[in-house]
Amino acid sequence: MASIARSFEEIYGRKPEVIAEAPGRVNLIGEHIDYSEGFVLPFAIADRAHAAIAARTDGLVRIASHQRKEKIFSIDISDVKPGSKGDWEKYVLGVLWSLGITSGVDILVDGTVPSGAGLSSSAALECSVAVGLNTLFALNRSKEDLARATQKAENDYVGMPCGIMDQSVSLMGQAGSALLLDCRDLTTQNIPFDVASAGLELLIIDTQAHHALVDGGYAERRAACESVARKLGIPSMRHLTLDVLEANREKVTPTEFIRARHAVTEIARVLEAVTALRASDFATLGTLINASHVSLRDDYAVSCPELDVAVDASLAAGAMGSRMVGGGFGGSAIALIKASDTQKTKDAVLAAFDKNGFKKPRFFTSLPSAGASASLV
């Protein structure tokens, strides 16, 4: 926190008024169903985005990154609207726009969430800025309101039709727990997630096959689920069962059928996973994690060779469960393993990647961590 404050002063010649932070996330299970009013079970990780912000007396918005201090992006607040200029800065501008900020600000961002790794670096950035602005301007917006506002920023300003899971857990996560989020009404329950006491570890494998979800793959899958809902006269996949889907197979395309099948079965797997966690039944949790990957790979078609190799190598090394996480098309996988098998699992994945000619993956672990926060300087 002190370093970003110093950098802010170096760049802008004055001190920040608020310092904020928000974590990335790992989704234990419940992938590609947040936009179908499903249940998801993510947890906040230790890596996070940071934002230092100060208000201005004019309408100028200036944005800089700790990694690119020499490049300051500038725009007038009156020009901050969807379609205006910006690259990664759009994630920040979208939050200003969705929160209705009308005065100028200076913003500096930094972070340790790996970009493109499927760990929600973009949501962490958005949420750090959102809680910072909420504190700076005394907006008194609830965390649920901020989750909707940051989702709107990514949907309507950035152009990425994401659900609300990433922003919700970044804002509402709690240390020691996974967050059961009902994406229909944003109600939450904290589910104790203590793998360490069982002698286990959740290994995160960044395949370094970096995705860019704005390219249409994500939008196509969301559109398929929404098309099925329209054709069957239901609000969302949350209202569908496998029996009803099967009985109406002729009303949807073959591709829509398998996309909907993933959504229906994944929603069920989340609730089964909660039951397993409450009973400390990690064997069942592992089985559900495996089934999630198969569904994402075969029915939703969002995996990729690097993710499949990471999962297969982890399972061959003895993992209880392994799956891709995040939007897919690259990014990270998780493996539920015995803590004593950590090095063996890493070695197996490294060897498999080397054999396939893939870029060397990165590994890290994280216990469930606290959500976003902000404080006046």
Say how many CA atoms lie within 13 Å of 229 toward its Cβ.
17
The residue length of the chain stands at 377
Q: What are phi and psi of 68, to 5 degrees?
A: -135, 60
Between the CA of residue 352 and those of 35, 195, 313, 318, what are the distances in Å? 34, 26, 7, 15
Distance CA 129, CA 197 (A): 35
- Sign of the torsion angle spanned by Cα atoms 65, 115, 320, 278: positive
Strand (E) positions, 152-311? Answer: 177-182, 188-192, 200-206
Residue that is written with structure tokens 């989340």 in the block? 270
Q: In what order do the strands lie in the sheet with 332-338?
A: 321-324, 332-338, 200-206, 362-365
Q: Does 299 participate in catalysis according to the annotation?
A: no
Distance CA 88, CA 328 (A): 20
Sequence-separated (6 or more) residues with CB below 8 Å from residue 157: 82, 90, 93, 94, 97, 98
Distance CA 273, CA 291 (A): 11
Q: Label the pairing between strands 60-65 and 105-111.
A: parallel
Beta bridge partners of 108: 52, 64
Three-state SS letters, 81-116: CCCCCCCCCHHHHHHHHHCCCCCCEEEEEEECCCCC
Q: Which one from 166, 206, 299, 341 is the annotated catalytic residue? A: 166
Distance CA 183, CA 40 (A): 7
Active site residues: 166
